[in-house]
Amino acid sequence: MTERTYNVLFLCTGNSARSILAESLIDHWGSGRFQAYGQFKGYSAGSFPKGQVHPLAIRLLESLGMPTEGLRSKSWDEFARPEAPVMDFVFTVCDQAAGEVCPVWPGNPVTAHWGVPDPAAVEGPEPVQMQAFRETFHILDSRIKLFTSLRVEALDRMSLKRKVDEIGHAQAEPANR
C-alpha cells in the first residue's frame, strides 16, 4: 500500500511567529504518526514576511524539543509557483491574512482560518513576551493535534472542510506551567 503524503501550508502576515510555530507542530505531530495512511509535511509563509523568524519562537520550540531545522520566514509567493509542492490544506493563523486576497493555490486545497493572537505584538519584559508565545503555542498545539487525529482519507471534501473549520474554533486545554 502506497502512503499518501498531505502537504499543509500555514499562512500569516509576517511568517515570523504563529505560522512558524504551526509549521513545527505539524511536522512534530504528523511525523511518523500517519504511517498507515499518510504523513503530513508542514510549510509556512507570509503575505509580507519579516525575513527572519522571531527569536522567541525559536527559543520556545527548542526548549520544548520541537523541530526547528529549516524554519525561515518566506513569502507565500514561493508556494503559488507552478514548481511548488501542491498543498492539500492551507490554514491562515492570523486575522490579517484571513482578510487578504490569497493566491490561487494549485490543487484546490482545503482551507480554513485558525486565527490566534500574535505573540510577536506583545510588548513588555521578555518573560511577558515568552508567556504570549507559550499561549499561542498551546492553542496551535491543541488544534494541530485535533487535525492530525482526523482520518483524512475517510472524509469527503465537504466533511473535511467542516471539520477543519470547527478545529479553527478549538481553544487550548489548560497547560501545566
| Angle subtended by helix axes 157-167 and 126-148, to nearest 10 | 160
Q: Which domain holds residue 81?
A: 5-167
pLDDT of residue 170: 83
Is residue 103 domain-resident?
A: yes
* Catalytic residue (choose from 11, 71, 87, 94): 94
Is residue 173 domain-resident?
A: no
The grid cell for 108 is 484546490
The grid cell for 41 is 509535511
Residue type, 64: L
* Catalytic residue (choose from 102, 130, 146, 150): 102
The grid cell for 115 is 486565527
Is residue 172 domain-resident?
A: no
* Catalytic residue (choose from 8, 9, 11, 12): 12
Q: Is 102 a catalytic residue?
A: yes
Is residue 177 domain-resident?
A: no
Q: Is 136 a catalytic residue?
A: no
Is residue 89 domain-resident?
A: yes
Is residue 10 domain-resident?
A: yes
> Among candidates 173, 113, 174, 176, which has minimal Cα distance to 142?
173
pLDDT of residue 106: 79
Residue 148 sits in a domain whose CATH number is 3.40.50.2300
Q: Is 12 a catalytic residue?
A: yes
Q: How many CB atoms within 10 Å of residue 112?
A: 22
Is residue 158 domain-resident?
A: yes
Is residue 83 domain-resident?
A: yes
Q: How many domains are there within the chain?
A: 1
pTM of the predicted protein model: 0.89
Q: What are phi and psi of 5, to 5 degrees?
A: -100, 130
- The Cα diameter of the chain in Å comes to 53
pLDDT of residue 162: 97
pLDDT of residue 42: 78
For the sheet with 89-92, list strands across it.
39-46, 5-12, 89-92, 110-113
pLDDT tens for each residue of the chain, 177 residues long: 456 778 899 999 899 999 999 999 998 888 654 333 345 567 999 989 999 999 999 999 999 999 898 899 999 988 888 888 888 999 999 865 555 667 777 788 999 999 999 999 999 999 999 999 999 999 999 999 999 999 888 899 999 999 999 999 987 665 544
